[in-house]
Amino acid sequence: MKKSILSALKTGFIFLLLCLAVACSSDNNTPVPEPTPEELIIGKWYVEKITKSDGSVHEHANDCEKGSYLKFDTDNKIYSIFFYLVGGDCKSSTGGGDYYVVDGGKKVVVTALDGVTSTMDILMLNKSTLVLKIQDTMYLKRDM
């Protein structure tokens, strides 16, 4: 009787060790793929500054302008809102349309609601920073 209990305990212990060995033998080091430009661009991006084609830099001078952003949705829709001061009042202009990331993530093509198409160079795109260039260079930070 003692031998059968001891044998059962030994078998159970070996089974437990095998389960632990299998569960812990590999950390599943499968690399996580890097997000594509199409995935990275999705979200709300606040305008930090704009470098004009003449080299001058426009940084937000007031709290009104700091709310300006571009928003890229998963359904390839883009929305924009830009705030500016007029006589002490905070005014806004809005826009929207469709967008497509093209040329291997180097450009974004936007077709506005009025049918006008613009192509912007993507100078930088990562999880926190987006830099776009048409004539001026726009630096944006992701809404975290």
| Per-residue pLDDT tens over the stretch 7-47 | 544 554 455 445 445 555 455 678 889 999 999 999 999 98
Q: Which residue has the tokens 């890229």?
A: 72
Domain ranges of the chain: 38-142
Q: Are 132 and 120 contacting, i.e. CB atoms less than 8 angstroms apart?
A: yes
Residues of the chain short of pLDDT 70, as ranges, are: 1-28, 60-61, 144
Instruction: Please state whether the predicted TM-score (pTM) of the whole model is above 0.85.
Output: no
Query: Hey, what are 128's tokens?
Result: 């926190």
* Dist CA 10 CA 48 (whole Å): 66
Q: What is the pLDDT of residue 61?
A: 64
* Dist CA 43 CA 75 (whole Å): 11
Q: What is the pLDDT of residue 103?
A: 97
- CA-to-CA dists, residue 24 to 11, 15, 28, 29, 31, angstroms: 20, 14, 9, 12, 18
Question: What's 38-142's CATH class?
Answer: mainly beta
In sequence order, what are the residues at sequence separation of 6 or more whose Cβ sits closer than 8 angstroms to the Cβ of residue 125? 37, 40, 41, 105, 131
- CA-to-CA dists, residue 33 to 36, 43, 134, 142, angstroms: 9, 19, 30, 21
